[in-house]
Each structure stands twice: as C-alpha cells, then as structure tokens.
Structure 1
Amino acid sequence: MATEDLEWERSKISNQDVNMMKKLGLMKKEGAIRFPSEESYPTPPIEYRVSFVDHLIRGLSTPIHDFLRVLLFVYGVQLHQLTSNSILHVAIFITLCECFLGVPPNWALWKRIFCLRRNGSHNTAYNIGGVVISVRSDVEYFDVKFPDSVQGWRKRWLYVHEESANSVEHNIAPFDGNAKILRRRSWDAKATEEEKTATEALMSRIHELQNTRGKELSGIQITTYFLRIRVQPLQARKNPLWTYAGEKDANRLSKDLSVKDLDKLIRRISSLSKKDPIPSSCRVEPYSATNPLPHNHPTLASLPPLPEDGEVEEQAVVTDDNQGSSLPESEIAGSRKSAVSSEKEVESDASESTQSLPSAASPGNKRKRTEVVDTGTSKAGTSHAKEVAPTEERTTLNPYEVALISSEKARKKAESSAAIVEDLRKRLRDAETSLSDNITQQTAREEDIISRLESQCRRFVRRTHQEFELDTPEDDRLLDALSLLEVNADEAREGIADAESSLSRLFPFFFTKKEKPDTFAALAKCFNAEEDLGHNLRQEGLKVGVEGTIALVASSQQNIDWAKVGEVPKMETKTWQSLIKAAKPNSKKILAFLGFKPTPAPSSSKPEIK
C-alpha cells in the first residue's frame, strides 16, 4: 500500500504554550526562540533550527547537549524527526547518568538499553517525528509512563537559535524538510562484549535503583526532578548535574515552578491521571553539591564515535525504506513493544552493524591519532623526499611513501577547505549583518507608518467628535490602523457629498450674480467669507419686504405722506411692538401678497437695519 507523508502546516502555538515557556525560562535570553508568522512550511533564519514546544518542555534547550548532537549524527536523523517522547527518553537518560549513576551520559550504556525504530502505520509514513527511540525488549528499564497520544505536538513548531560550535562535527545539520529517513545499521547497534563488561556495574546500579524496596526510583521521579530543579538536561551546560548547587546554580533557567504549574506540566507530558499523585521528591537522593560523589568515584566516559568530518559512513546506510518498525507513535509511547517487531527484521544485520561501527574512543585517543599523522607528514616526508630525489632508477613507491603523499595531499586539501569555509563564514556574517540592518530599517519604517495612520485617525475624531470601532479587528496594529482610517475616510466622503449638495442649493440665494464653482473646495470657500452672509441675505429680504409693503399700501389708495414716513426717527421697541400688534389681523394677508408663508407667531422684535 502506498504511503502518504504527513505535510507541514501553519504553526498553532497558543498563549498557554507561550506562558509555560516563559515560566520555564526558555525565552529569557533574547533571540533564543522565534515564532513563525504566517508560513505553513518552516523557513528558519540563519543559525536557527526547527523544534517544537513539546521538545522544549521535555528538557531541550540551546545550545544543544553534545550527547544529543552526536546521537543525531550517528543515527543520521534531524531534530524534527525525533518524537517528543524520544526527546524525553534522552533527557531522562542524561539525568539518570549524571544524578544517580555519577557519570557522563555513556554511549555504551545507551546501546545496551535503547535502539531506534521507524515511526508510522500501514498507510502513513511520518517525516515529522518519523523515528522513535525505544527500549530494547530484553532490558528492564524505568517505566516512564508516556501519554497514550501526543499527536498534536507536530502542529506546535518554532525556531530555536543553535549557536555554532567551533568544530563542524559538533554542529547539528541545518533544517531540511525534504530529507528522507533512511534506516541505518547504527539504529540497532549493540554494545560489544568489551563495552558490556565496562558498563556492567552501571547496569547493576540501575537494577538496584529500580528494585530496592522502599527506595524504588521511577521514570516519573527522574522527570519531576529535572523539571523541579529548573535545569534542562538536553542543554550544553557548564557543570554536570552531580554538582548542582541549588538556587544559585549557574545552569538554572528560572526560579522554582509553583506547585500548580509543576503539577500541570507533569500531567501534560505523562499518562498520570488527576488521581495519581505527583512525586514530591525522589526516593533516592540524587548526587549534587550537598550530596557529592564518593571519593575516587569512577566517571566512565563514552561518547558515540564520529567518523572523520562528522559524516556517517555510507557503508553503514540501509537504503531500503521498507525496513524498520511501522508502529504508530501512540503504540510505541507507553511500552517496550516497539523493539519486538523490528528486532526480528534486523537480527541478521545486528552482528554486522556492531562490527562496522568503530568502538567508542575517548577524545584523547582521537587527538593522539591526529598528532601521529601530522608528525609523519612534516618530518619523515621531508627527509624521505631528499633521499628519493637524486635517484631516477626508482619508478615505484612503497606503501609508506604512498601514505605520506596521500597524507600531504589531504593536508593541503584541508587547508584549502578551511580557507574556503572561513571565507564563507565571513560572507555569511556580513550578509547576516546586512540583513539585520535591513530588518531594523524596515521595522522602523513600519512603526513610522503606523504612527502616522493612528495620528490621522485621532485628528479625524477631534474634528468630527465621532469615534469608530472595527467590527472584526485583525489583531495586527498596522492593518487595524489602516482599516480604521478607511472607515474614517468613508465617513468623511459621505459628509462632503452631503455638504456639497446643501451648499449648491443655497448658493443662488446668497450669490445672485455669481456662477457656482466647479469644485467643492471652491464652493465651501465662498461660504467661508469674513462677512456675515446670513446678515446680508436678511437685509436683502428686508429690502424686498419694505418695497412690497410700500407698493401694497399705495395700491390700497391710502393717503400717506411717504416723505414723512422716511423721516421717522428711531423707533422704540415698545412702540414697534404695539404697531405690529395693531397690524397683526392683516399681517397674514400682507405676507401672502409678498410671497412669504405666514409664521405661527410673527416676531415682534425690531428688524436689523444698517
């Protein structure tokens, strides 16, 4: 049956997730975490890697611990291809080694306990979380109590800043979402007899921690311990956990979590129900500054062997994608059944895989090996060249000479590559600086645009005394300010249209001898003159009324001396009111004759006369 890869989708990180990461101290360092914006496929910035909220709350933090770095190299997988429960497995193992065994995380011990399996089902092939770290079926290990299902973790992805290490082999590979998962022989690499002998005391101590009555240690106790002391096991640290010094420890990321937050976090990453109690402490006192390691305690060190240049040997790759487990994560999470179905498939490869991988070597041995090669190149190669130069009869080289020549070529190639890499790093730093400057300038420009938009909105409110609110805000300051300005502009356009219509109708009455302007601005300017246009209109109306009244009186054939009427001195208000009252019975008829509609109560005030 054809398989279907699970695709990336837009990250869905809630405010609750952000608050939890803040409480854990994961966002304390500026730039340590960046959240995706609108992208539905990860595009991490330079020196950032793709991780998940559920990875971080299970003990991951940057810079990443060397043990996890080399695990990724040896297994040939990327960080996003490990499930969240696999991350917790590594965190518990490192805490177990440093706090309860008193040794650095040990590769030989790891191989005795764990193996890697493909994660998937019959019709689905996972790429995000496509591999699972599981406990071998023949090993007794701590019951971690994984949750039954943690599928939602794939949707909560983000970017974490991974600081570049000095050595290339210590840098985790950049994100590649299209990289296929290829099962390697290293996935099921088993400890050699020599490694079993070296780690027998550690396995015995693990069984003792599990089975001592009254002092049994569990996976949930180990998990609770590293969450309580606020040290991320999967972060590169200055000091091992057996030197933990309490609240003043340099590796702590935050203050102690509240009882409520710790309880909530433990139940989120485990299968504990609300009825199950959260362990208040470990039944076995972990090593720390107050409980130091015994005198002459052996600190057995064993890291996964890395081939030269940090690349996994091609001969160790099994290209058949159909090999490996096809169990979904929910079936693997809570049990050791994940190792059973796949071990039968790779049983024939097991012995071969242990032989093809080099044995664990200490950093000291690796340095000695390098020194021998360098010495042979610089001294023996030079003296031998002087001996061979005069001799023209020799046409063949012995194996030692071939090795020296090959070593010299490799050295020159390495020096050339180092110069190229340094040049690329410089160009990359310059590009990153330029990009950072551009981002800063763009951010400042956007902030200026937002301020101007908001200022225009405030000016509109002050002018109109009318404030609007958006029905469906975008929760984006720039878009919301622009939308609000558009609402204000629509309101302003409607007001201008109404004003233009009204002023157009009034214009012939105020300006009888002028032609109406074409633009609204010119029309409004006409009505915004310094003189009182209303007073002038009233005066014109009064003039018409007087002339009409004179004509009406004359037409009624009344004998009036109009010269005397024109010489009447200024009239007092009471006299005016009495005369108006006397003429009131006929005022309606007079007004109708003059073309005015009568008012309910004619004004008895004196007219404005200049």
Structure 2
Amino acid sequence: MATEDLEWERSKISNQDMNLLKRLGFTKEKDALRFPREESYPKPPMEYRVSFVDHLIRGLSPPIHEFLRGLLFVYGLQLHQLTPNSILHVSIFITLCECFLGVQPNWALWKRIFCLRRNGSHGVAYNIGGVVICVRSDVDYFDVKFPDSVQGWRKRWLYVHEESSDSMEYNIAPFDGKAKILRRRSWDAEASEEEKLATEALMTRIRELQSTRGKELSGIQITAYFLRIRMQPLQARKNPLWMYAGDEDVERLSTDLSAKDLEKLIRRISKLSKKDTIPSSCKVAPFCRANPLPKGHLVLSSLPPLPEGGEVEERAVVTDDNQGASRPESGVGDSHKSAASLEKETEAEVSSSTRSSLPAASPKGKRKRDEAIDSGASKATLTEEETLDLYGAALPFMKELVRFGTQFIGYRDYAGELEGKLAEANKRADALAIELEQSESAHAKVVEDLQKRLDDAKRALEENVAQHSAREEEILSRLETQSRRFVRRTHQEYELDNPEDDELLDALSLLEIHGTEARNGLDEAEAGLSRLFPYFFHKKERPAVFIDLAKCFNGNEDLGLQLRQEGLKVGVEGTMALVAESQQEVDWSKVGDAGKIETKKWQSLIKAAKPNSKKILATLGYKPPTAPSSSKPEVK
C-alpha cells in the first residue's frame, strides 16, 4: 500500500479560529502556542510539537497528559499522525475514567475497548492523520456521534509547547514530518486474562452507565461536560477530574462559555444537527469535589508500558503483508460498530535495523545457560539455543541503540539547519556591526549637537531667571509705591497679622487690603451719588457706570447754587400762585422788574407772606413736600 505524505501546506488559521482559541483560553499562557508565519513546512522551535486547531478544541492542551504520552510511545506515533476524532476518543476515555468510574486512565481497560488502524482511501495511506483510534467490534461502548469528516483540519496546524520535566517519565519524540507510519503489534494489543479480570468491574459499570433506564450516559454528554467545565482532559494536571472544584478550580482553562458558543462548539466536533438538542447536564452526576468518591473506593492505576526497561515487545513492527485494509477516517467516525475486526498477526518482525527473524529470548534457555556458567563448564562453541538466548538478551539493547540512532539522525538534521541559520546570523551580525560603526559616528555628531543645544538652553535659562528676578524686583517696587500712595491719600496704614516673610507676598497682601478699602469707598460713593443724582438731575437718567456718574458731579457749574436757585424759583412761583389764587391785584410787571424793586423790599415782601403761606396752602388743599422736590406747581 502506497503512503502519501499529503504535502504540508502553509497554515491557514483564520481570524475566526484565533478568536475561538482566545475565548477557550489557549492564549492565556504566553508561550503555550505559537503560530506559523510564512513557512509551508513545519519547523517547530525547541520544545514545541506540531498539532492542529481541531486537536485543541477536542481536549488537547500543553503540557500533554501522561496517558496520551504513553499511547504515542507504545503505538510508535507522533502527535500529528492522529486524527481529530482519535484525539476526542482519548479525551472521552479519560473523562469517563476520572469522572464516572473514579479511576485513573487505565491501560488495561483501554486495550479492552480500543485498537488502531491506518487511515487512507483508494489504496493510499495518509501520513498526516494517518492513524485512527477505533472501538473494537465486539465491545459495547458509547456512541460518540463523530462527524463523517472534519473539513480542512490538516491545513490548520500550529506549534504547542511540550514541557520537558524530570517528573515526566518520558517525553514525546521530536517532530519528524517524513517519518513513515509503521503498523505495530501494539495496535491490536489485547488485555491479558489477569487484566480482564481486574477490569471486569469497570466494564460492568460502563454497561450500566449506558443502559440504566432514565439515567443513560452518552458520548455527547461526556464531551459536553468537559467542554462546559473548561477542563482539558488531555492536559497534564495536578489533580484528577474527580477533584474538580467548580468555578474556582485553578486548572480551568477559561471561564464559562456562553450558551451559544458552547452549542456551536459541540455541534462542530459532533454530527448533531440543528434539530438535535444539546445536553445541558449529564444524567449521571459526575464525581467532583461536590460529589466525592465513596469511602473505601479503590482507585486503579494502569499506564501504558514505559521505556524504562527497553523497548516493549508490543512495539514490534508487523510485516507489510499483514497490514490489512485501510479506510478513511470518515469510515470509522460514525459509530464504533463500523470498526472491522482486525486480523490477528502471527508473524512479527523485529527492529528494522537488525533485519533479523530471531525469536524472543527463552527464559528457560536463559536459566540453563546461567547454570552452565555457574558450574564452571567451558565450551569452545555455543549451542544454537544458547546463541538464540544471547541474541535475545542483546535484542532490547539493539532496539534501544536503533532508537537512539534514529533520534540522533533527527538531531543531526536539526543541527544542520541550525548551522545554516547560524551562518546567516553571522552574516547579519557583520552587517549589523558595520551599521553600528556608522551609527556610532552619527551618534557622536548627534551627542555634540545635543550638548550644544543643552549649553544654549542653559544660557537661555540663566537669562530668563535674571529677567524674572528683575521683573520681580520691579513688581515689588511698584507694589510698595502703590501702598505708599494709598496711605498718603487715605491716611490709613495697615500691618499684617501673620507676615509670610516674603516681601512680594507681603506687599501683595497689603495691596489687597488697600484695594479692599478702596473698593468699599467706591461702593459707598456710588451709593451716595446715586441717591443725590435725582435731586440735581431730575430730567436725566442715572448712568450705569460709576465713572460716568462721578463726572456728572465734577462739572464747572455749582450744583448747590443751581439747587438753591431752583428752590427759590419754586418759591417765587408758589407765591405768585398764592397771590393769583387770592385774587389780589398786583402789578406783576413791576414785581418782575428786579431793577425797580430793591432786594431788601423783595425779601421783606416774601418774609411778610411766609407766615400766611401755610394757612393759604392748607385752605387750598395743597400740602408742601417735606423735602426739596424737583416738581413745580403749575400757575393757572
């Protein structure tokens, strides 16, 4: 079967994808993700691996959970070789174990439920997403309702940070986009009788969760649950999900999603139609801090085999002749019932570097060889059985050596790329050194110019300070002069109760006192002049401005004389009115001739008429005003 690399293309992550990752909390940590720029082939930085947007929204998040690390090691896979639906399978399994079974993700239980097979179409096996995790045909498991296909997921690739820590028992192998997928015996590994016996209770509980009437648990409910609580099942966590503490849990990736965003996300990763309802909760209460595990509950733990003791036998490569048919992911995404029964392989091929068909080491033969050595027996040649034992004993070390050699080749290629980049960096450094020299020369000129400007600014500042001091002295002198002038005019001198010991401020305070006195005097003058105005100017309208009002009283004419003459005129007119009213005959021509009547005689006449004027006025019904009036009595 031919293998198609499906050549990598430039990543096409849209703004919609970026906004989704932001809402889901993936960008909260600064270096958790890195997005490709213009590269058309992945070149992840150190400690980064290649993944996809559709992996992340299905429960993957760095640092990667140790159970998924173990699966990748045992199956001999890289992260980019798993399909999105396979990632979701692992997420649902971990959530099922921790939230509904109350156990750690169990390797023995996994082998009872799942197996692997190639993903491809029309005789072509894919490399990107070339492996599918599917449910065994004889197992009754949750119907996850996978979508028939995930459109364009291979084009939305990015880099996820893979933390290397001493607490992790192994790390994911560096990215190698050209590594071929080799079908291994572990893809079909089945649980042993002992493992089946140990996990039978868990399988019984899974059947109960699916079939209990009114409390049926589904794959969609499990998926919606871990999306709703914002916990990533495939992220390494300090606490299992049965210790989930609600909204305050520090390991939550983000705050709650809106109902609309959650519904859109669930429909995107499943094949639910718009008519299908989205479960708002699980019919079975998941274990969490609010619903703790029962007392005495046994927490099983079973991880995939680790590389501590050398390569596990389950990783042996199966011959290409027995790889079986391959189907595209859509063929297994609909239901676990579509997974065909995989053919059991009886012939295994050891590591491709040895090209040997030697069988595995026999423990019995090994014991015989040890006994022979202990007894001191010496043979010139080894028997065939002992030779096989020797090869069998050396086989794990040869496999380990091959693995190290493969990694060395990957690191060597990576080092070659680094050397090329280093050469480019050296050229760039030389160019920068030349630019730096030019920049330093220009910098010296700039510094000299700035120093000159600074000196000019200092001189200008000193001149400004001198001018300011002179101006301040001038102002102080003027204020003192104004104060003396005010004292001379008002004959009032003031002293400050609390001087500031500042000549300028103290002078301002005295000027303020003098100004207040002056304003009060002007207000009083304006009020007095306003009251006198109608007596002197009865036919004029009072000016609105004080200076105009004051000018009315500062003319050349004697306003007091005018007032007295006006009063005399009124008196004369009144006398004439009284005489006319008394019907006495008077020669007014002679009276009006001031030249013919002496002043003394005129005054005597008025004096003689004055005692009778009040009686006459009372008789006439005329009451004279108590104050001088501007009005004149008419003479009829």
**TM-score, normalised by the number of residues in structure 2:** 0.55
What is residue 112 of structure 2 aligned with on the other side? Answer: 112
Work out whether 1:16 is the aligned partner of 2:16.
Answer: yes
**Structure 1 segment 197-596 matched on structure 2, within 5 A:** 197-308=197-308, 311-313=311-313, 316-320=316-320, 323-340=323-340, 343=342, 346-349=343-346
- What SS does structure 1 have at the residue aligned with 2:142? coil
How many angstroms apart in 1 are the aligned matches of 2:187 and 2:211?
A: 29
Q: 1:394: how far off?
A: 9.3
**In 1, are the aligned partners of 2:119 and 2:328 still within 8 Å (CA)?**
yes
- What SS does structure 1 have at the residue aligned with 2:51? strand
How many angstroms apart in 2 are the aligned matches of 1:313 and 1:209?
A: 35
Work out whether 1:81 is the aligned partner of 2:81.
Answer: yes
What is residue 140 of structure 2 aligned with on the other side? Answer: 140
Deviation track 1:311-332 (CA, whole Å, cap 9, x = no partner) reads 4549721141761341111111
What is residue 523 of structure 1 aligned with on the other side? Answer: none
**In 2, are the aligned partners of 1:92 and 1:223 still within 8 Å (CA)?**
yes
What is residue 131 of structure 2 aligned with on the other side? Answer: 131
What is residue 156 of structure 2 aligned with on the other side? Answer: 156
Q: 1:4: how far off?
A: 3.9
Residues 338 and 245 of structure 1: CA distance in aligned 2, closer, same or farther (over 3 Å): same
**In 2, are the aligned partners of 1:76 and 1:312 still within 8 Å (CA)?**
no
Structure 2 residue identity aligned to 1:142: F
Deviation track 1:290-320 (CA, whole Å, cap 9, x = no partner) reads 1000001011111112243664549721141
Deviation track 1:250-275 (CA, whole Å, cap 9, x = no partner) reads 21111011111101100100001111
**In 2, are the aligned partners of 1:147 and 1:270 still within 8 Å (CA)?**
yes
Residues 168 and 310 of structure 1: CA distance in aligned 2, closer, same or farther (over 3 Å): farther
What is residue 352 of structure 2 aligned with on the other side? Answer: none
- What SS does structure 2 have at the residue aligned with 1:347? coil
Residues 314 and 204 of structure 1: CA distance in aligned 2, closer, same or farther (over 3 Å): closer
What is residue 67 of structure 1 aligned with on the other side? Answer: 67
The percent of aligned pairs where both chains have the same amino acid is: 73
What is residue 44 of structure 2 aligned with on the other side? Answer: 44
Q: 1:5: how far off?
A: 3.5
Deviation track 1:332-374 (CA, whole Å, cap 9, x = no partner) reads 111225531x51xx2244xx88xxxxxxxxxxxxxxxxxxxxx
**In 1, are the aligned partners of 2:184 and 2:315 still within 8 Å (CA)?**
no
Residues 394 and 123 of structure 1: CA distance in aligned 2, closer, same or farther (over 3 Å): closer
**In 1, are the aligned partners of 2:76 and 2:315 still within 8 Å (CA)?**
no
Deviation track 1:4-34 (CA, whole Å, cap 9, x = no partner) reads 4311111110111111111111111111101
- What SS does structure 2 have at the residue aligned with 1:133? strand
Where do 4+ consecutive residues of structure 1 move more than 3 Å? 1-5, 307-315, 393-396
How many angstroms apart in 2 are the aligned matches of 1:3 and 1:176?
A: 15
- What SS does structure 1 have at the residue aligned with 2:326? coil
- What SS does structure 1 have at the residue aligned with 2:120? coil
Q: 1:169: how far off?
A: 5.1
How many angstroms apart in 1 are the aligned matches of 2:378 and 2:147?
A: 72
- List alignment gaps of at least 5 residues for structure 1: 354-390, 450-610
What is residue 574 of structure 1 aligned with on the other side? Answer: none
- What SS does structure 2 have at the residue aligned with 1:232? coil
What is residue 177 of structure 1 aligned with on the other side? Answer: 177
**In 2, are the aligned partners of 1:59 and 1:91 still within 8 Å (CA)?**
yes
- What SS does structure 2 have at the residue aligned with 1:301? coil
What is residue 33 of structure 1 aligned with on the other side? Answer: 33
Residues 269 and 315 of structure 1: CA distance in aligned 2, closer, same or farther (over 3 Å): closer
- What SS does structure 1 have at the residue aligned with 2:216? coil
How many angstroms apart in 2 are the aligned matches of 1:278 and 1:333?
A: 19
**In 2, are the aligned partners of 1:6 and 1:124 still within 8 Å (CA)?**
no
How many angstroms apart in 2 are the aligned matches of 1:315 and 1:26?
A: 33
How many angstroms apart in 2 are the aligned matches of 1:314 and 1:214?
A: 41
**Bigger mean CA offset, 278-287 vs 165-174:** 165-174
Structure 2 residue identity aligned to 1:323: Q
**Structure 1 segment 598-609 matched on structure 2, within 5 A:** none
Structure 1 residue identity aligned to 2:214: G
What is residue 522 of structure 2 aligned with on the other side? Answer: none
What is residue 545 of structure 1 aligned with on the other side? Answer: none
How many angstroms apart in 1 are the aligned matches of 2:217 and 2:378?
A: 71
- What SS does structure 1 have at the residue aligned with 2:133? strand
**In 2, are the aligned partners of 1:10 and 1:41 still within 8 Å (CA)?**
yes
Structure 2 residue identity aligned to 1:145: K
Deviation track 1:97-143 (CA, whole Å, cap 9, x = no partner) reads 00000000001100110000100012432100000000000111101
Deviation track 1:50-102 (CA, whole Å, cap 9, x = no partner) reads 00000000000111000000000111111000000000000000000000000
**In 2, are the aligned partners of 1:106 and 1:302 still within 8 Å (CA)?**
yes
- List alignment gaps of at least 5 residues for structure 2: 349-375, 437-636
How many angstroms apart in 2 are the aligned matches of 1:17 and 1:130?
A: 24
Residues 264 and 72 of structure 1: CA distance in aligned 2, closer, same or farther (over 3 Å): same
What is residue 588 of structure 2 aligned with on the other side? Answer: none
How many angstroms apart in 2 are the aligned matches of 1:24 and 1:315?
A: 36
Deviation track 1:158-185 (CA, whole Å, cap 9, x = no partner) reads 0001001327851001110111111111
How many angstroms apart in 2 are the aligned matches of 1:318 and 1:167?
A: 33
- What SS does structure 2 have at the residue aligned with 1:170? coil
Residues 11 and 322 of structure 1: CA distance in aligned 2, closer, same or farther (over 3 Å): farther
How many angstroms apart in 2 are the aligned matches of 1:310 and 1:89?
A: 28
How many angstroms apart in 2 are the aligned matches of 1:52 and 1:3?
A: 21
How many angstroms apart in 1 are the aligned matches of 2:11 and 2:79?
A: 17
How many angstroms apart in 2 are the aligned matches of 1:310 and 1:66?
A: 18
Question: Aligned Cα RMSD in Å?
Answer: 3.7
Deviation track 1:197-233 (CA, whole Å, cap 9, x = no partner) reads 1001000000000001110000000000000111100
Question: Greater Rg, structure 1 or structure 2?
Answer: 2
- What SS does structure 2 have at the residue aligned with 1:93? helix
**In 2, are the aligned partners of 1:91 and 1:233 still within 8 Å (CA)?**
yes
How many angstroms apart in 1 are the aligned matches of 2:310 and 2:69?
A: 11
How many angstroms apart in 2 are the aligned matches of 1:168 and 1:213?
A: 42
**In 1, are the aligned partners of 2:64 and 2:236 still within 8 Å (CA)?**
yes
**In 2, are the aligned partners of 1:3 and 1:122 still within 8 Å (CA)?**
no
**Structure 1 segment 48-59 matched on structure 2, within 5 A:** 48-59=48-59
How many angstroms apart in 2 are the aligned matches of 1:4 and 1:78?
A: 16
How many angstroms apart in 2 are the aligned matches of 1:145 and 1:394?
A: 66
**In 2, are the aligned partners of 1:119 and 1:325 still within 8 Å (CA)?**
no
Structure 1 residue identity aligned to 2:66: D
Deviation track 1:491-533 (CA, whole Å, cap 9, x = no partner) reads xxxxxxxxxxxxxxxxxxxxxxxxxxxxxxxxxxxxxxxxxxx
Deviation track 1:382-414 (CA, whole Å, cap 9, x = no partner) reads xxxxxxxxx9x9999x99xx99xx99xx9xx99
